[in-house]
Amino acid sequence: MLTANVDSWATQVHDTYTTLMSNEFFPVVPITQYTIGEERFAVRGLLTVAELQMDNLLDVMRSRRPKKATYRKILPL
């Protein structure tokens, strides 16, 4: 995937998230455990999305995904 395509997709998704948050719809990620060091704790909660990260690799199947991306775009929300 070209870097211009990654930048375009990242900008569009970032703008969508920003619009949602300005209308008080906050994207969250549900969690069931939290890890501190080697210890894991059972926790039920929601984490807010703080940044958007997009790279040039297609995620069709995680097991076949290359280990390193050649381009990565990170945008804070």
Q: Give the rounded percent of residues in the chain with a pLDDT score beyond 90.
A: 71
Whether 43 contacts 30, CB under 8 Å? no
Work out how many domains the chain is built from and give that number.
1
What is the span of the domain harbouring residue 10? 3-76
For 34, 42, 55, 59, 69, the CA distances from 63, given in Å and listed in that order, are 24, 27, 17, 9, 15
Amino acid symbol at 8: S
Rg (CA), the chain: 16
Is the pLDDT reported for residue 57 higher than 80?
yes
Query: In this structure, how many other beta carbons lie within 10 angstroms of the beta carbon of residue 22?
Result: 8
| pTM of the complete model beyond 0.75 | no
Euclidean distance between CA atoms 20 and 64, whole angstroms? 33
